[in-house]
Amino acid sequence: MPEAQTAEAGARRVLQVFLGHNLRAGDVLQSDSFVATFSKPGWGPDDFDAGVEYAIAEDWIELVSTQSYRLTAEGFAEASG
């Protein structure tokens, strides 16, 4: 079984998904937008969950509903930097 990624690595991958959709601060993505990225070898649903928790704690994204997330200005800056 592959070793789980770190929560920070998962959070950075979440940010990259936002950028991959050409989104900016304030834009929202549904959770299904992350499935393909977190289904690649070495990644899984637990990595996504840990990454989302980390990104929320760092104020990089905000929980909009149980199925959607908003990219914050801090998250956009972190991802773009």
pTM, rounded to two decimals:
0.92
- Beta strand ranges found along 1-81 (DSSP E): 28-30, 61-65, 68-71
Of 70, 40, 27, 36, the closest CA to residue 52 belongs to 70
Cα–Cα distances in angstroms (integers) from residue 3 to residues 6, 7, 43, 49, in the given order: 9, 12, 9, 15
What pLDDT is stored for residue 3 in this prediction? 59
What pLDDT is stored for residue 38 in this prediction? 95
What pLDDT is stored for residue 1 in this prediction? 41
Domain 7-80 has CATH 1.10.10.10: yes
Domain chopping of the chain, boundaries: 7-80
Question: Mean pLDDT for each consecutive 10-residue tract of the chain (81 residues)?
Answer: 79 97 97 95 94 98 96 97 85
Q: Are 10 and 51 in contact (CB under 8 A)?
A: yes
Is the alpha carbon torsion for 41, 70, 32, 80 positive or negative? negative
